[in-house]
Amino acid sequence: MALSFADLLDLFGHFLVLSLLAIGGAITTAPEMHRYLVVEQHWITDAQFTASIALAQAAPGPNVLFVAALGWNVAGLAGAAITLLGIMLPSTTLAVWAARWGAQRREWRGVRAFTGGLAPLTIALLLATGWVLAAPFSGEWRLLGLVALTVVVMLRSKASPVWIVAAGTLAGALGWV
């Protein structure tokens, strides 16, 4: 699909804003990306959205690659470049500045309170992302059971997530989910 210059500029601007909301990583803004790209603009489908995230998460490299995959599906190479630049530029600039500022003031009560308060926010954003990604599979009881089992194992044991991912891969390869 060929987007107009105005659409590309809108796409860039949207990802600039999302960058500043991406506390815990770009994946935490996936529900908003889904709303914008799939529901509002209809530039990609639910299946394309989920496949883009799954493919990028399975590939080695930075976690943020799913943004480029989404951009590619929307507008090819230009879309990949625009979305990746949009999501990286503000957050990277802010992170570098905040890290330097916070390191100089790490003993201040306000700095400690701010960093401590980010943990629940990050967890909530990750839960919202999981909810959006699982929605297309809500009727698949075996898949939902595997997700529940994964959560229980991760909360109750010290098992490495690598083993959990390997078990999920095996279950999928054997056609169990």
> Tens digits of per-residue pLDDT, 65-90?
999 999 999 999 999 999 999 999 99
Q: CA separation (Å) from 82 to 79, 99, 117, 156, 165?
A: 5, 26, 31, 42, 31
Mean pLDDT value of segment 104-114 = 90
Q: What residue has token string 């990306």? A: 33
For the cut 90, the answer to whether the pLDDT of residue 167 exceeds it is no
- Please tell me the number of Cα atoms within 13 Å of 57 on its side-chain side: 12
For the cut 80, the answer to whether the pLDDT of residue 143 exceeds it is no
Mean pLDDT value of segment 112-128 = 85
For the cut 90, the answer to whether the pLDDT of residue 133 exceeds it is no
Q: Considering the entire predicted model, what is its pTM?
A: 0.63
Q: How far apart are CA 103 and CA 98, in angstroms?
A: 8
Closest CA to 49 of 22, 25, 31, 23: 31
Enter the DSSP assignment of 23: T
Q: How far apart are CA 60 and CA 93, in angstroms?
A: 24
Give the pLDDT confidence score for residue 32 in this predicted structure. 96
